[in-house]
C-alpha cells in the first residue's frame, strides 16, 4: 500500500526462520548480495539472492521510495516461481529474511555452478580465429537449450524482456544452459507490475526500468520505442537473434557510445548481415570461416523490424535451428576449419588399398574416383568419399581419389572420434554416405558386367 508520505509499507511473508543457513557469499552488486545457503528442510544447497531493505529513518516498516522501486523487480522475479524447466533457473521460495539483525527481501533459487555466456564470449574474443570458429558448434548447441527453455516460457505466456548473454548461464551438465533473471518478465494477458525509475541513460549495458525496459543492445525496436502494449514473445525472439548474432560474430548488430545512440539505431536502421560485419573487422578479430548462409537467414528472420515477420516464438526458432544443425549440411558447415583442405589439379587424395581412416566430402570443384585394378573411373562434383571409414575404420580403400582438372576443396573427417561426433550431430550423414557408396558400387558393377561382355564378345573370356 502507498502511504501519504510517499513511502511504502511492505507486507511480504517471512521465510521460515532457521530454514536457510548461509554457507558463504558468492557475490554482490547494485541489486544486492547472493549467498550459497543450505536448505535444512530439503537438505540441499541453494542460492539466496538478498536485497537489503532501506527502511525510513522512523524505525518502522516503511521503505524509502528508492528501495521500493528496486524491490518491485525482486517481487516481479519471484512471481515466476511456477516456471519449472531444465533450462530455466528454478525459484524455490521467496519472502522477508532476517540475517545479522537486518531485514531483507530474499529469493531462494536453484544452486548451479557455471559461467555466464557473456564471460565465455569475452574469453573467446581473445582467442585465435580457428579457436573462435571451432567454438561455434558448441555454443550453438548451448543456444538450442536456451531456446528450449524460452519455448517453454513462451508457451506458458511469459515474455522475458531482458534476454542477453549475462542472463544465460552455461553449466557442465547434460542440460548445458540456464536462463536467469526474470526481473523484467511479464505474464501475457495479466496486468503488468510497476517498476522503478530509469537507470543511467549513458551506459548502454544497463537495464533500464520504466517506459523503456530491457537492455538496449539486445532489445527489440518496439521495446526501444517504449511501445509496451506491442511487446509479446516476438520481442524475445529479437533478443535471441541478437544473442545468436553475437555467438556467430562476437559482434552486436547495433552498438553506440550512449544509450540514446543505440536506441536511435534500433528504431531507424536494419541490422547488417553477420558476414558483412565480419568482413569489416581487422584480421585478428575475424573467424577462420564465414557464417553459413543458412544461419545468416535464421538470424535475419529473428531481426526483422516488423514483429509479424519474425519467428512466432522461441519454439519456431528452435525447430528451424535444430532442423538445420541436425541436417548433413548443418553438421558439415560447423566442422572445425582445420578439416577443410584445397587440392591442386590431379593431386592424390586417397590411394586404393590404403587404410580407410578419413571420410571426405566434396565442397567445391570435382574429384575423380578410380578403381585402378579395372580402370573404372567416375567424375564426381558432389558427395561423400571414403565412406568405408564410417563402417569399419582401417579397412583397405576400394578406390583411389584424385582432384579433378581444376582442383577441388574437401572437408576431411580424419579420426574415429570426429566421425562419431558427426554421426551424433546428424545421423542422416551416415544414411546419405552409405547410399552414395552403394550407388557407386552399383555403377562399378555395371561397368564390370559390360567389360566382361565386351571381352567375351571379342574373342572369349580372358580367365
pLDDT in tens, 266-289: 888 899 999 999 999 888 888 878
Name the pLDDT band for 389 (thresholds 50, 70, 90): low
Check whether residue 299 and residue 221 sit in a common domain. Answer: yes
Name the pLDDT band for 6 (thresholds 50, 70, 90): very low
Q: Is the pLDDT of residue 66 over 50?
A: yes
Residue range 357-372: average pLDDT? 86
Beta bridge partners, 9, equal: 62
Angle at 32 between CA 258 and CA 101, to 5 degrees: 155
What is the percent of the chain where pLDDT is above 90? Answer: 37
- Reported as a single tens digit per residue, the pLDDT across 411-423 is 887 766 666 666 6
What pLDDT score was predicted for residue 263? Answer: 86
Name the pLDDT band for 256 (thresholds 50, 70, 90): confident
Distance CA 176, CA 457 (A): 66
Enclosing domain of residue 226: 115-189+214-326
What pLDDT score was predicted for residue 362? Answer: 86
Residue range 77-88: average pLDDT? 91
- Reported as a single tens digit per residue, the pLDDT across 129-165 is 777 877 888 899 999 999 999 999 999 999 999 999 9
What pLDDT score was predicted for residue 436? Answer: 64
In a domain, residue 39? The reply is yes
What pLDDT score was predicted for residue 288? Answer: 79
What pLDDT score was predicted for residue 111? Answer: 94
- Reported as a single tens digit per residue, the pLDDT across 290-348 is 899 999 999 999 999 999 999 999 999 999 999 998 887 887 787 776 678 899 999 99
Check whether residue 294 and residue 367 sit in a common domain. Answer: no
What sign results for the dihedral spanned by CA atoms 435, 440, 445, 450? Answer: positive
Residue range 422-430: average pLDDT? 66
What pLDDT score was predicted for residue 180? Answer: 93
Distance CA 32, CA 267 (A): 33
Q: Is the pLDDT of residue 460 over 90?
A: no
- Last residue in a domain, options 42, 76, 110: 110
In a domain, residue 320? The reply is yes
Which residues have C-beta within 8 Å of that of residue 460, sequence separation ≥ 6? none
- Last residue in a domain, options 110, 139, 173: 110
What pLDDT score was predicted for residue 335? Answer: 75
Domain containing 48 — which CATH number?
Answer: 3.30.200.20
Query: 9 φ, ψ to 5°?
Result: -90, 140
Name the pLDDT band for 46 (thresholds 50, 70, 90): very high
Domain containing 422 — which CATH number?
Answer: 2.60.120.10
In a domain, residue 201? The reply is no
What pLDDT score was predicted for residue 208? Answer: 45
- Last residue in a domain, options 110, 134, 165: 110
Check whether residue 310 and residue 408 sit in a common domain. Answer: no
Residue range 36-61: average pLDDT? 80
Check whether residue 245 and residue 380 sit in a common domain. Answer: no
Check whether residue 145 and residue 263 sit in a common domain. Answer: yes
Distance CA 163, CA 294 (A): 23
- Reported as a single tens digit per residue, the pLDDT across 114-131 is 999 999 999 988 888 777
Q: What is the DSSP letter of 223?
A: H
What pLDDT score was predicted for residue 202? Answer: 33
What sign results for the dihedral spanned by CA atoms 85, 189, 31, 40? Answer: negative
- The grid coordinates listed for 156 are 506458458
In a domain, residue 159? The reply is yes
Domain total of the chain: 3
**C-alpha dihedral, 159 to 165 to 169 to 175, nearest 10°:** 70
Question: Distance between the two ends of the chain, CA-based, in angstroms?
Answer: 103
Residue range 24-28: average pLDDT? 90
Residue with the bigger pLDDT between 459 and 407: it is 407
What pLDDT score was predicted for residue 416? Answer: 63
Q: What is the residue whose three cell numbers read 550453438?
A: 140
Q: Write down the mean pLDDT value for the chain.
A: 81
**Of 395, 434, 389, 437, nearest to 416 (Cα)?**
389
In a domain, residue 132? The reply is yes
Residue range 65-88: average pLDDT? 82
State yes or no: is 236 an active-site residue: no
Check whether residue 126 and residue 254 sit in a common domain. Answer: yes
Check whether residue 123 and residue 265 sit in a common domain. Answer: yes
What is the percent of the chain where pLDDT is above 70? Answer: 76
Residue range 74-78: average pLDDT? 82
Which residues have C-beta within 8 Å of that of residue 432, sequence separation ≥ 6? 328, 384
Residue with the bigger pLDDT between 288 and 236: it is 236
Distance CA 63, CA 11 (A): 11
Question: Burial of 449 by CB count in 10 Å (0-12 exposed, 13-18 middle, 19+ buried)?
Answer: exposed
- The grid coordinates listed for 118 are 557473456
Choose the catalytic residue: 162, 181, 232, 236.
Answer: 162
Check whether residue 409 and residue 294 sit in a common domain. Answer: no
Residue 309, H or E segment: none
Check whether residue 77 and residue 131 sit in a common domain. Answer: no
In a domain, residue 333? The reply is no
Name the pLDDT band for 96 (thresholds 50, 70, 90): confident
- Reported as a single tens digit per residue, the pLDDT across 217-233 is 999 999 888 877 789 99
Check whether residue 119 and residue 101 sit in a common domain. Answer: no
Check whether residue 119 and residue 141 sit in a common domain. Answer: yes
What pLDDT score was predicted for residue 118? Answer: 95
Residue range 337-365: average pLDDT? 85
In a domain, residue 331? The reply is no
Can you say how many angstroms the Cα of residue 15 is from the centroid of all Cα atoms in its chain? 36
- The grid coordinates listed for 370 are 578410380
Name the pLDDT band for 211 (thresholds 50, 70, 90): very low
Check whether residue 247 and residue 353 sit in a common domain. Answer: no
Residue range 360-388: average pLDDT? 82
In a domain, residue 267? The reply is yes
Domain containing 162 — which CATH number?
Answer: 1.10.510.10
Distance CA 150, CA 379 (A): 48
Amino acid at each position: 500500500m502507498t502511504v501519504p508520505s510517499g513511502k511504502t509499507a511492505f507486507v511480504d511473508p517471512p521465510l521460515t526462520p532457521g530454514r536457510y543457513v548461509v554457507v558463504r557469499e558468492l557475490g554482490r552488486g547494485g541489486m544486492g548480495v547472493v549467498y550459497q545457503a543450505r536448505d535444512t528442510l530439503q537438505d540441499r544447497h541453494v542460492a539466496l539472492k538478498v536485497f537489503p531493505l532501506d527502511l525510513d529513518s522512523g524505525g518502522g516498516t516503511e521503505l524509502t521510495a528508492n528501495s521500493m522501486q528496486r524491490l518491485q523487480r525482486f517481487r516481479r522475479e519471484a512471481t515466476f516461481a511456477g516456471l519449472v524447466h531444465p533450462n530455466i533457473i528454478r525459484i524455490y521460495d521467496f519472502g522477508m529474511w532476517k540475517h545479522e539483525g537486518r531485514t531483507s527481501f530474499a529469493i531462494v533459487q536453484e544452486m548451479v555452478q557455471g559461467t555466464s555466456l557473456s564471460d565465455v564470449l569475452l574469453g573467446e574474443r581473445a582467442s585465435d580465429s580457428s579457436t573462435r570458429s571451432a567454438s561455434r558448434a558448441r555454443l550453438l548447441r548451448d543456444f538450442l537449450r536456451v531456446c528450449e527453455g524460452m519455448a517453454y516460457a513462451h508457451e506458458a505466456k511469459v515474455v522475458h524482456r531482458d534476454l542477453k548473454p549475462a542472463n544465460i548461464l552455461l553449466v557442465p551438465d547434460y542440460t548445458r544452459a540456464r536462463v536467469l533473471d526474470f526481473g523484467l518478465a511479464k505474464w501475457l494477458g495479466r496486468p503488468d507490475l510497476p517498476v522503478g525509475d530509469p537507470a543511467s541513460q549513458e551506459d548502454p549495458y544497463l537495464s533500464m526500468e520504466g517506459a523503456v525496459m530491457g537492455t538496449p543492445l539486445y532489445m527489440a525496436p518496439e521495446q526501444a520505442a517504449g511501445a509496451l502494449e506491442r511487446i509479446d514473445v516476438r520481442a524475445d525472439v529479437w533478443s535471441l537473434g541478437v544473442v545468436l548474432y553475437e555467438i556467430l560474430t562476437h559482434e552486436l548488430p547495433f552498438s553506440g557510445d550512449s544509450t540514446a545512440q543505440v536506441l536511435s539505431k534500433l528504431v531507424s536502421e536494419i541490422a547488417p548481415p553477420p558476414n558483412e560485419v565480419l568482413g569489416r573487422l581487422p584480421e585478428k578479430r575475424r573467424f577462420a570461416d564465414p557464417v553459413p548462409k543458412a544461419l545468416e537467414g535464421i538470424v535475419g528472420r529473428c531481426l526483422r523490424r516488423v514483429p509479424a515477420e519474425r519467428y512466432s516464438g522461441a519454439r519456431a526458432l528452435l525447430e528451424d535451428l535444430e532442423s538445420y544443425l541436425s541436417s548433413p549440411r548443418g553438421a558439415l558447415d560447423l566442422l572445425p576449419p582445420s578439416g577443410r583442405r584445397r587440392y591442386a589439379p590431379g593431386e592424390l587424395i586417397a590411394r586404393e588399398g590404403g587404410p580407410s581412416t578419413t571420410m571426405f566430402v566434396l565442397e567445391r570443384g570435382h574429384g575423380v574416383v578410380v578403381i585402378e585394378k579395372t580402370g573404372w573411373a567416375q567424375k564426381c562434383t558432389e558427395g561423400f568419399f571414403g565412406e568405408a571409414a564410417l563402417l569399419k575404420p582401417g579397412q583397405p580403400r576400394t578406390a583411389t581419389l584424385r582432384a579433378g582438372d581444376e582442383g577441388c576443396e574437401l572437408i576431411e573427417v580424419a579420426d574415429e572420434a570426429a566421425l562419431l561426433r558427426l554421426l551424433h550431430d546428424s545421423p542422416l550423414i551416415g544414411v546419405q554416405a552409405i547410399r552414395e557408396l552403394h550407388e557407386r558400387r552399383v555403377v562399378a558393377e555395371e561397368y564390370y558386367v559390360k567389360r566382361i561382355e565386351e571381352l567375351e564378345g571379342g574373342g572369349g573370356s580372358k580367365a
